[in-house]
Amino acid sequence: MDILDRLTNRAALEAKLAGQPEAVFIDAEQLAITLKSKVIGQDGVCDDMAAQIRRRLALKQRGKPVGVFLLAGPPGTGKTYLAKCLSNALQRKLLHFDMTQFSSGGHAATQLFGSAKGYVGSDVYGKLTAGLRDAPDAVVLLDEIEKAHPDVHKNFLTAWNDGFVTEASDGKQISTTQAIFILTTNAATEALQSFSDLHANDPDELRRTSANALRESGFAPEIINRIDRIFVFKPLSGLDVARVTALEIEAMIKGYGLDVSLGGIDPELLFDMMRRQGRLGTAASARDLVRIAEESIADTLIEAKQKGFTRVALVAEGGRVVARAES
Ligand SMILES: Nc1ncnc2c1ncn2[C@@H]1O[C@H](COP(=O)(O)OP(=O)(O)OP(=O)(O)O)[C@@H](O)[C@H]1O
Ligand SMILES: [Mg+2]
């Protein structure tokens, strides 16, 4: 008789092992290239993220999520966008939650983790528990994590420390060991930026000072303690502003079912947008660029589409932008 049959329940043990995540090996270099081609001006973050994901996916026995990562930095620098690009690149589902919507007590946690039997809503699963039940390896994006109610934080701590969340309606445990948690914040932006420059070669000191800065800006210490890694995003500057703008314009053109010709965006146009963004000051983000771009080119793109153009070039002409047909 097998030792395990004699001394324990071997079938149960084997079933448990089968539920453990498998070691997965990914090409970190390729992942970094993919991320950097989309997320502009954040090469350090993209390289580091790819390396972290590779190392953590290669761990076979974890009992915890693949990672709990904090993306910190100014608004509109690509934090949420990176999470989306990562989920695409890894072909994992994205479960996206805006934590400002879960800032009040009581009801907030039930929306994510379900309601106990006998309460309103106990016939449906919570949004997070249902999401992870259907896609256990999802990328879970928690925007502005510090805004969530302490009850919500408490549930997440279980998810990160114990490797499961409990659905309140039926008490089922749903594994989080294959999931990647990405938290974002605008808190302590300047302090984090200066520490990441100052202690670039001293990870322990960087970690300590960053944790202090987050604590001072109101982050719950137990959340900080559980974060595997902090990624600091830089403000967009110089040609990177033009790169993001050009990508936004391309996306807008495609959004109208059109193509842009090679070299088809007048540099004058990008120059003008960079100047306008500059005037908005350092707080201006990529979101302002998107808005400015939309205002100045939407009409001409609609006209181009109506005229039956398929490929266009955008040209600055007498103070306005015109979409010209290109072959
Ligand atoms: N570094 C970047 N590279 C490419 N596109 C970017 C970048 N930063 C921002 N964008 C564009 O601007 C949009 C808004 O950026 P995003 O939502 O990622 O900002 P954020 O850093 O999450 O800001 P917030 O802190 O306000 O949530 C993105 O969807 C993307 O199209
Ligand atoms: Mg965001």
Domains and CATH numbers, the chain: 63-232 (3.40.50.300), 239-326 (1.10.8)
Cα(306)–Cα(321) distance, integer angstroms: 17
Taking alpha carbons only, the member of 197, 159, 198, 199 closest to residue 180 is 159
Query: What 8-state DSSP symbol labels residue 164?
Result: E
Give yes or no for a contact between 227 and 68, defined as CB atoms under 8 angstroms apart. yes
Given ligand 1 and candidates 70, 80, 100, 234, which is best to mutate, with the most ligand atoms within 8 Å of its CB?
80
Cβ of 234 closer than 6 Å to ligand 1, yes or no, is no
- Token pair in block for residue 242: 């033009």
Q: Which residue has the tokens 């990405």?
A: 182
Q: Which atom of ligand 1 is nearest to the CA of 41?
A: 1
Q: Which atom of ligand 1 is nearest to the CA of 186?
A: 25
Q: Give, in order, the Cα–Cα distances in Å from 102 to each of 68, 142, 145, 150, 155.
A: 19, 11, 9, 10, 12
Local structure of 124: helix, strand or coil: coil
Q: Which residue has the tokens 């053109």?
A: 253
Cα(187)–Cα(180) distance, integer angstroms: 21
Reading the chain (327 residues) residue by residue, the pLDDT tens digits are 889 989 998 888 877 766 666 677 888 899 999 999 999 999 999 999 999 999 999 886 678 999 999 999 988 899 999 999 999 999 999 999 999 999 987 688 889 999 887 776 677 899 999 999 999 999 999 999 999 999 999 999 999 999 999 999 899 999 999 999 999 999 999 999 999 889 888 888 888 999 999 999 989 999 999 999 999 998 888 888 888 889 889 999 999 999 999 999 999 988 888 888 777 665 567 777 778 888 889 999 999 999 999 999 999 888 888 999 998
Cβ of 129 closer than 6 Å to ligand 1, yes or no, is no
- List of residues 6+ apart from 162 with CB closer than 8 A: 63, 64
Cα(229)–Cα(315) distance, integer angstroms: 44
Cβ of 77 closer than 6 Å to ligand 1, yes or no, is yes
Cα(128)–Cα(140) distance, integer angstroms: 9
Cα(45)–Cα(82) distance, integer angstroms: 9
Angle between helices 79-89 and 28-38 (to 10 degrees): 140
Which long-range CB contacts under 8 A does 245-254 form with residues at least 24 apart? Answer: 245/270, 245/273, 245/274, 245/289, 245/293, 246/270, 247/40, 248/286, 248/289, 248/290, 248/293, 249/293, 249/297, 249/314, 252/293, 252/294, 252/297, 252/298, 252/301, 253/301, 253/312, 253/314
Q: Which residue has the tokens 């990647």?
A: 180
Cα(214)–Cα(224) distance, integer angstroms: 8
- List of residues 6+ apart from 310 with CB closer than 8 A: 258, 259
Cβ of 79 closer than 6 Å to ligand 1, yes or no, is yes
Query: 103 C-alpha vs ligand 2 centroid, how far in Å?
Result: 17
